[in-house]
Chains A and B, each alone.
Chain A
């Protein structure tokens, strides 16, 4: 099962850049004079790399949030980060700061995590469900603010906001994704470096404290790192939900080992999942691509429920 999964994943990654509205032939990608060359190197390959990095970052961020907040439901997105990014982007769009739009999204995501963290530090470690409720309350507050913005914006602005919330992997060239690649490498190395700490956090906060680690400092470092990389992702692709929630659960259910050993698999399969979703998005739309957020949820939600049912039956 495991090898089959890895093999399938590698095949998906390998065919992803070749398939789309225009199919590219392998022979043409090294021939500068062909159009295939440009499509492959300027559009398809950067897009697949972007999808992989963003998926990997979101999945790993989900794992970190679930571990630190000790709740299988908490991800940067269920706690309101995506809504924060969307609201700030909308503010940017409505008030005419279009050149800084990515920065606004980044600001919204990071600010939300900072708010969450300030509130979380007032709770005891065991009150994580309260934090989830805070996240939900924040999301509602953001939604209400967004409604106000919709109300005062014109048609063009409203459309731009709606498109942003659907998530998009449309980019041209590698220049716009270097930051995401760096972010992916950065978060993987930080989480890997803190693997032992994460393993201790998988028991209990008290136990981790007694085994000599500075739990507060560890949490600060991990959450800050995650908020920065998620902010970067959201600023480029818009909010892409669900990956951070389901990939860690799916990998755990399949591998049946403790989460600290699943850092690399969750990173890898998170990436593959988004590449696959993008592949579907690019190949099923009749006129243009289906928004990526739609595919992740359409594909992820039923599979997730299936896994939960299967697990429920066994225990």
Chain B
């Protein structure tokens, strides 16, 4: 079980929740979603977070990697010659899939020997997803996993996230409301650093709640959530 109790910092105000399985975190730009992710994964040290009784910022090695992983929205690499394959080797921790299989499943086998520094934003997002699958922690936080992808790829990733074959428990941060809706996981909605809603997916996406949280900017059409332009 993952638990955060009464956490506050420069942006977040009194954050408390716990979860056993999947979760989707929604919220406006600058609401504090990525900060929550960094706190949960131990990148920002805090005593308020426990995962199966352990504090993620205090533990190292296998003990930590088995528990939690955070996948940022863009790939940050300092070395300009590190290849995709080498990068994925570093993530190859608790998964039974060979690196090549994961690359093939995401249709990015052709990137294997490319330098990580010279990937397009979409490609690097797929490489990050591959690293999440290979790392295979108990909880994986994915920060906007589809933000730079073309519609075909979004669909591939949706299917991958929907299946239980690849990743254990997922915490997905996204602005893609339709993705959030179709995945059907519980919703955590944040506004100005505070939790505004934490509950069932169906209830959150009821017409009245949509109006309440997003005003006129979204609408439901044929069971899909669209941005109302």
Which residue of the partner chain B has the closest CB to A200? B90
| Closest residue on chain A to residue B91 by CB atoms | A211
> Once the chains bind, are B81 and A199 in contact (CB under 8 Å)?
no
Q: Is the interface of B mostly helix, strand, loop or mixed?
A: mixed
- Given the known inter-chain contacts A211-B91, A212-B61, A214-B60, please indicate yes or no for A202 contacting B69, CB distance below 8 A: no
The answer, yes or no, to whether B189 is at the interface (CB within 8 Å) is no
User: Residues of B contacting A258 with CB < 8 Å?
Assistant: 79, 81-83, 86
Q: Determine the distance from Cα of A210 to Cα of B62 in the docked complex, in whole angstroms.
A: 10
Chain A nearest CB: distance from B51 CB in Å? Answer: 13
Q: Is the CB of A206 within 8 A of B61?
A: no
* Contact in complex: A204, B60 (CB < 8 Å): no
Q: Are A203 and B72 in contact (CB under 8 A)?
A: no
Question: Would B70 and A206 count as touching, CB distance under 8 A?
Answer: yes
Please count how many residues in chain A sit with their CB below 8 Å of the partner chain's CB atoms: 22
Q: Once the chains bind, are A204 and B61 in contact (CB under 8 Å)?
A: no
Minimum CB–CB distance from B144 to chain A (whole Å) comes to: 15
CB distance from B27 to the nearest CB of A (A): 21
Given contacts A200-B90, A202-B82, contact A212 B43 (CB under 8 A): no
Contacts A210-B65, A211-B91, A212-B65; is A202 near B43 (CB within 8 Å)?
Answer: no
Complex Cα distance, B88 from A199, in Å, reads 12
A-B contact pairs, 24 of them (CB 8 A): A67-B78, A199-B86, A202-B78, A202-B79, A202-B82, A203-B77, A203-B79, A203-B90, A204-B76, A206-B72, A206-B76, A209-B43, A210-B42, A210-B43, A210-B68, A210-B70, A210-B135, A212-B62, A212-B63, A213-B60, A252-B81, A258-B82, A258-B83, A259-B81
Q: Give chain B's interface residues, CB within 8 Å of chain A.
A: 38, 41-43, 60-65, 68-70, 72, 76-79, 81-83, 86-87, 90-91, 93, 116, 135
Other contacts beyond A206-B70, A210-B41, A214-B60: 13, CB < 8 A: A70-B78, A202-B79, A202-B82, A204-B76, A207-B90, A210-B43, A210-B64, A210-B69, A210-B135, A211-B90, A212-B60, A258-B81, A258-B82
